[in-house]
Each structure stands twice: as structure tokens, then as C-alpha cells.
Structure 1
Amino acid sequence: MRTYISAKDYRSLLTLINQLYTLPDQETIIRAVIEELGKLVPFSSAIFIAMETSGLFRPDGHFSVAIPPKALSEFTNHYAAVHPFTLTGWIRHTNESARITDFVPAYRLQDTEYGRDFLPLTPCFYELGVIMGAQGDHVGALCLHRQKMDRDFSDREVQILNYLVPHMARAINCLQLLERLNAGGFSSETGVVRMLVDGGVTMNEAARKISLERLDRVTPNRFAESGASILESPQGRYRIQTTSSNQGSERILLFEPLPCTETLFQRLCRWDFTDRQAEIVLKVIRGASNREIAVALSVSEQTVKEHLRNIFEKVKVRRRSELISRILSDS
């Protein structure tokens, strides 16, 4: 049954959501969210863990409140793999909040390896978490905690996080795209269209070659939330992402080309990938998520992640977006 939140909750959320898109960097966004969430969803501790666009946890980019450093290190190095969120497969889903007790009853939690060996290192017992994603990329994991003496998170509090998280993910993703664009992280074949609030439009040479009047041919994959969108054009297939700059006065559309399979396989051969690695890289470039790749190849999502680790090491990149850019710009 759907849980509704109050008008007061909505007003608080709208104020925070509007603020998110004006903040200058990821850390400021995370601090603002955690501070305001503490008023709507009280917690004893909290953590945000940055993720590669592929869904792997990053060794940097952590932000925590009242989490002992030793516990954070132990979690990322070992216990993340045995967390009920991971073991049940929930971690595959983006922007869908869940409580740890949705998967393991509170009275059984201490019977699990996670509850028996890890929770005593922390002030945590009850957890409310979410994996955040936007435009086909993973952004990070956010988890709120309460002590055992407190009550569990309510359906209302789960719903509040569900309303907020897509916007938080979108705001962070836009900043990451803008940073990549300004750093020259896209190939010269990527179309860039800049739209000003006064109606003016500018585009680079690559964008002028694309039949943008065929935007009705866009194929969305949960476009409003976390999925990627593909434009079918006479010039080829393009992955579309959007961001903004100048405090929202300029909207930017990015059209990243997806080469034909034959050309792409020729490029992949230069990297000495195994057949399975080449297959996975091809699907990543096509905009498939880890879950979609696992289903298509009839393997576990963990196997896909292990292949991606090896691929990243071989190409010498750290993120999914860097992998795509490196392969597409290879000549």
C-alpha cells in the first residue's frame, strides 16, 4: 500500500530539492542533504559512499556522520559483500530505498555474519539505504542508521527518501558531467548543444552533423530517473545526457556517439580484451546496466563487476564514463 507524506514534509522536501540544483559541488550537496534529512528522518549516524558509474564503490569520496573510521574501513574492505542489501540483490536497484529489516527481521539480524561481526563495531542497528543513479550512471550509496534502542525507520521515512534521492542523484550527476566536459573528457565526436534562457542556442561542429530534428526517435530507459537514453539518427546512435552551467542559465545536451558494432569491435581488439570482456565493454557503451548485462550473458552481477574491475585495470581508467570515453576516442 502506498504511503503518503504530509504537506509539511512536501514543503520541506521541495525547499531542499530546489536548493540541490544550485549547490557548487558534490560534498556541499551531501552535507546539505544529510543536515536536512536529520530534521525529517532522525538518525544516529549516516554515510555516503561514492560509486563508479559502473556500480563499484570508490576508495575515495566517502562522507560520514558518527561512523568510527575503523568501522568504515572494515565495511568497504569486507563487510559490504555480506551486507543483506548485497546478498539479496537489492543493491542492483537504483533510487529505491529499503530498510535492512525488509530483508532480515530484526530478531534474526545478529544471526548473520554482518550482524554478528560488523554491527558491534558501530553504533548502528537499524538501517535505511539507497543506491543512487541518474542518466545511466551510478552516483553513490546513502545509508542512515539508528541504534538498537531506537525504533526502526517508518514507511513515511522510506517514502521521504524515495522522493528526495532521484533529485540528489541528478544534481550530483550533472556536476560530474559538467566537470568531465570542462576537462575535455568527451571525444571530439560528441555533440554539444548549449541552450540559453534567452532562447539562444549554440552547438559545436559534431552537433551540427546530427539530425537533431529526429529527437522523437529517442529511446528512453527509465529516462526520468536513472536510465540512459539513446537517439537513433541517420548519422548513427547517440547516448544523450544533459547538464547545466552558469548557475542554471545554460542547459547543455551531450550526444555521445555509439559506433557501429563492427567498428567498435575493431577498436576493442586493440586492447587485447578477452571475448567476454569485449562483450561486456560493448554492452557498457550501449548503455546497459550491470544488471542488464548479467541477464543478457546469463551470469551473476558480481561476475560482471569482477570483469569490469579487470577491464578498468587493463584500460587504466577508474570509472565507467572514462572507459566509454577512452574506447570511443581511441583512434
Structure 2
Amino acid sequence: MVKKILEIVAALGAVTDIDNARLVALEMIRQVIWFDRGNFFLYHPFLGVPQGPPVSLDFTMDNYSFYMQHFAHADELLQAYRISNILIARSTDLMPYHEWTRKSKYYNEMLKPLNIHYSVIFEIKDGQMVLGGMCLFRSINNGDFNQEDINMLHLLYPHLVNRLRWHFFLSSVNNTFQPFAQNKLNNMTFLFNRLTERERNVACKVVLGCSNLEIATSLGISINTVKMHLQNIFAKLDIKRRSQLIMLYNFVNQHPVK
């Protein structure tokens, strides 16, 4: 199992295009966890909604269009998953199965015609950000996913987070900050220079991934003082989130003004 995880991780790291990486992930997962159909979504990390259709195995664009038209807002499995505390959930963990498969319009008009009876669903999260999501489906003849399947996905999960996190960082730099930097990098560097020495220390700690408590302890200040500094930093840089600070800080430092 560990060897196969390492093979999947190596393959994900070797594929630069995110669509190809998602396809590779599905194909390699299928080698160790059989599923009849599968979807791998890429989400907008702050809005938590899909960025276009998924990369799929044996799930067509027509299938996806039908889902979006009729069931995107009436998907009981997704709704149940999001109010559960289960990271990687089987459909049988989420629904009263005999009753649900008998009464659900979503099951009987969407899943059953595709010979789908069982599924595994999980969102790929980095803190509060939802970076992606995966759905794996099985027919009734192939049986439900077992605990070994779920354990395998749990082992793979942090590597999926890392791959999507890296994609998000690169795309944010290339697509958002690059044109901004071409026109206003001088100004952004000036804004960073406006930070006080203590604010720059706090910003550096945030970039290193420190929590407010860790920042307070390392700098010998209170948590409330850390929060005050963060408010001032966000206001001066015209941002709202720590993740934006991290990306902005990294971008400015990787593109020095000449």
C-alpha cells in the first residue's frame, strides 16, 4: 500500500498540467481501489465552488451537464457530506440507504440510470479553503467501498492537498499577480516597506505558517497584539486573508524590482 501511494505521489509531482495530474490521480487510484466511474473537481479555493467540469473516468460531459441542470442544488449526498464530520465518506455512511435509494429523485433519475449504487465522496481542503473534490462510484454488483479502500484514500489525501495547493499558488502568481506586478510592483514593494519592523516580523511568521499563538510566543507579545498587527498589515496591503499575504509576500520576494 505504501509503495503504491509513493508511486501515485511521484506521478502527481511529475505532471505539471493540473488536468493531466487529476486524470493520472484517478487512473492510478483505480489500480488499487476499483471504481466504475470517477470525477475529480477543481474548486475555487475561496468560493468553494467547482472551476468548470471535472476531470472524469467513464463519466461523460453529457452526464455532467444533466447533473448541473437538474441536481446541482439537489444532491442529497453532497449536502449530507457537508454537514457531516466525515472527511472521506461512503454514501452508505451518509444516507439511510434502503429508504434513500427507493425515494430519492437524484438516485433514481441520475445515479441509477448510470448503474451507480455506491459512492465515496470527499472534498480536498487546506484549512478553510476547499481546493477540490473527488467522487468515486460503483455499481451494485461491485459492492460497497470497504474500510481498506477508505484507509488508502486517507493515506493519499495529504498528497492531494499538497498537489492542489501548489497548483493554486502557481496559478495565483501567474494569472493574478503577474499582470498586477507588471504595472504596480513598484507600488506593492513600497507598501511592504511601509510596514513597521514589528509588522514585518509578524508577516514573516505568517508566511512561515505560524499560528497567532506561535507568533505571540516567539515575539514575546500577546495574541491580541498579534491580531492588531495583522489588522494593520491587511489594511496597509489592501488584503483580507493570511493566504493572500503569503502569496503576495512570496511574489514580491521572487520578483524584485530592478
Q: TM-score, normalised by structure 2?
A: 0.70
Q: CA deviation at 1:217?
A: 9.1
Q: Which has the higher helix share?
A: 2
What residue number does 2:104 align with?
112
Matched residue, 2:26: 34
Equivalent position amino acid for 1:155 in 2: Q
Distance (Å, rounded) in 2 between the aligned partners of 1:207 and 1:38: 50
Please give the alpha-carbon distance, in whole angstroms, between the structure 2 residues aligned to 1:163 and 1:179: 26
Which residue does 1:307 correspond to in 2? none
In structure 2, how many angstroms separate the alpha carbons of the residues matched to 1:91 and 1:73?
22
Match of 2:89 in 1: 98
> Is the partner of 2:141 in helix, strand or coil?
coil
- 1:190 Cα deviation from its structure 2 partner: 7.1
Judging by fraction of residues, say which structure has more strand.
1
Give the structure 1 partner of residue 35 of structure 2. Answer: 43
Over 3 Å counting, the alpha-carbon distance change for 1:27 and 1:111 in structure 2 is: same
Q: Tell me the residue number matched to 1:168.
A: 160
CA deviation map 1:166-190 (0-9, x unaligned): 2112212212212221345287587
Equivalents in 1 of 2:241, 2:109: separation in Å?
40
Equivalent residue letter for 2:234? L
CA contact 1:95–1:166 (8 Å) conserved in 2: no
2:201 aligned partner: 211
SS of structure 1 residue aligned to 2:122: strand
1:153, distance to aligned residue in structure 2 (A) = 0.2
CA distance in 2, matches of 1:213, 1:28: 35
The alpha-carbon distance between structure 1 residues 67 and 214, as it changes in their structure 2 partners (threshold 3 A), is closer
Q: Label 1:206 to 1:170 Cα distance change in 2 as closer, same or farther (>3 A).
A: farther
Q: CA deviation at 1:235?
A: 9.1
User: Which whole-Å CA distance do the structure 2 matches of 1:15 and 1:26 have between them?
Assistant: 17
The structure-2 alpha-carbon separation of the partners of 1:43 and 1:258, relative to structure 1 and needing over 3 Å to count, comes to same
Aligned length: 222
Deviations 1:160-209 (A, max 9, x none): 11221221122122122122213452875878xxxxxxxxxxxx968996
Local SS of the residue matching 2:120 = strand
Q: Is the Cα–Cα contact under 8 Å of residues 47 and 64 in structure 1 kept in the other structure?
A: yes
| 1:258 matched residue in structure 2 | 234
**Higher alpha-carbon Rg:** 2
1:220-268 CA distances to partner (integer Å, 9 max, x unpaired)? Answer: 79xxxxxxxx9x8699328xxxxxxxxxxxxxxxxxx5228xx97xxxx
1:69-218 → structure 2 map (5 Å cutoff): 69-88=61-80, 90-91=81-82, 96-108=87-99, 109-134=101-126, 136-185=128-177, 210-211=200-201, 215=205, 218=210
Structure 1: gaps spanning 5 or more residues:
1-8, 192-203, 222-229, 239-256, 265-281, 288-319, 326-331
Q: Secondary structure at the match of 2:177?
A: coil
- Unmatched segments (≥5 aa) in structure 2: 214-222, 249-258
Give the root-mean-square deviation of aligned CA atoms: 3.9
SS in structure 2 at match of 1:46: strand
Residue 230 of structure 2 is aligned with which of 231, 237, 246? 237
For 2:5 and 2:142, the matched residues in 1 are separated by 24
CA separation in 1, counterparts of 2:85 and 2:14? Answer: 23
Q: Secondary structure, in 3 states, of the residue corresponding to 1:258?
A: helix
